[in-house]
């Protein structure tokens, strides 16, 4: 059994010049973010991976600071710092930390949907996937906050049918539940996850990966008055 527990918490917003300002005009922006350019949003990320079966007991804990910089109204920078890893050898821990902290990622987002991402060609694939997974936790369509919705969403899991169910959302913010049936995802082949999925293409089938894992991904997302994610807990 594979269990992933992820938590992302808003810490504070401060003004800080973004290091990748030169790319600010490289993407069109039809629906600007309410955040102010050159502002940096700080989060704390905590993740736990547990693999438990009769043959293995493996627990991996990750903690890191997340810096999301507002480069322009629809362009954001993403950087990890102070990465701490528990559950692996010291040598691997230092290599893991260095790889995750080395490069900054740029991503485009409009109306709460993350679009194209740009990264350094030297970025290791597994490190980029970790960053994609964290960025995915911050993804929420603006329309999903007002009513139940089902959208096709692309992130580290592939392209998946994603359900959004708003809770008690008012002018000051509220909560939204986000859920995916991972067996319905496609485009996730060659995954670095512990379970490797094989393509199964059938437009009429609800299953798009083999083995047919009975997995799901559920997030409880908290938004503020500007409909910006302040906290996300996923498993």
Q: How many domains does the chain have?
A: 2
Q: Are 132 and 123 in contact (CB under 8 A)?
A: no
128 and 55 in a single domain? The answer is yes
Q: Are 62 and 56 in contact (CB under 8 A)?
A: no
Closest CA relative to residue 185, chosen from 208, 162, 201? 208
Domain-located, residue 46: yes
CA–CA separation, 113 vs 127, rounded Å? 22
Predicted pLDDT at 190: 45
88 and 157 in a single domain? The answer is no
Instruction: Answer positive or negative: Cα dihedral of 70, 71, 72, 74.
Output: negative
Higher-confidence residue of 187 and 213: namely 187
Question: Looking at residue 133, what DSSP letter applies?
Answer: H
151 and 181 in a single domain? The answer is yes
Domain-located, residue 179: yes
73 and 170 in a single domain? The answer is no
170 and 226 in a single domain? The answer is yes
Structure-block tokens of residue 8: 């992302």
- pLDDT (tens digit, 9 = 90+) per residue, 193-217? 433 344 444 454 444 444 444 577 8
- pLDDT (tens digit, 9 = 90+) per residue, 150-173? 988 887 777 888 999 998 888 888
The partner residues of 51 in beta bridges, in order of sequence, read 2, 58
134 and 154 in a single domain? The answer is no
72 and 152 in a single domain? The answer is no
Closest CA relative to residue 31, chosen from 112, 107, 105, 106? 112
Q: What is the mean pLDDT of the chain?
A: 75
Q: What is the pTM of this model?
A: 0.76
Domain enclosing residue 112, as ranges: 31-139
155 and 112 in a single domain? The answer is no
Domain of 67, CATH number, reads: 2.30.230.10
183 and 214 in a single domain? The answer is yes
């Amino acid at each position: 059994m594979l269990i992933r527990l992820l938590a992302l918490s808003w810490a504070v917003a401060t003004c800080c010049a973004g290091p990748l300002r030169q790319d600010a005009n490289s993407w069109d922006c039809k629906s600007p973010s309410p955040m102010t350019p050159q502002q940096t949003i700080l989060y704390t990320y905590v993740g736990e991976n547990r693999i438990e079966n009769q043959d293995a007991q493996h627990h991996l804990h990750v903690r890191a600071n997340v810096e999301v910089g507002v480069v322009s109204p629809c362009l954001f920078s993403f950087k990890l710092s102070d990465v701490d890893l528990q559950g692996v050898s010291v040598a691997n821990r230092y290599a893991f930390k260095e790889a995750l902290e080395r490069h900054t990622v740029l991503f485009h987002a409009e109306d709460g949907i993350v679009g194209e991402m740009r990264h350094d060609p030297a970025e290791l694939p597994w490190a980029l996937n970790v960053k994609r997974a964290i960025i995915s936790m911050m993804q929420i369509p603006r329309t999903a906050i007002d009513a139940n919705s089902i959208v096709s969403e692309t992130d580290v899991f592939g392209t998946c049918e994603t359900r959004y169910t708003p809770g008690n959302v008012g002018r000051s913010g509220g909560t939204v539940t986000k859920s995916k049936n991972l067996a319905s995802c496609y485009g996730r082949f060659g995954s670095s996850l512990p379970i490797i999925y094989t393509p199964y293409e059938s437009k009429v089938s609800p299953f798009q990966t083999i083995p047919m894992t009975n997995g799901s991904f559920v997030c409880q997302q908290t938004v503020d008055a500007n409909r910006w994610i302040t906290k996300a807990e996923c498993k």
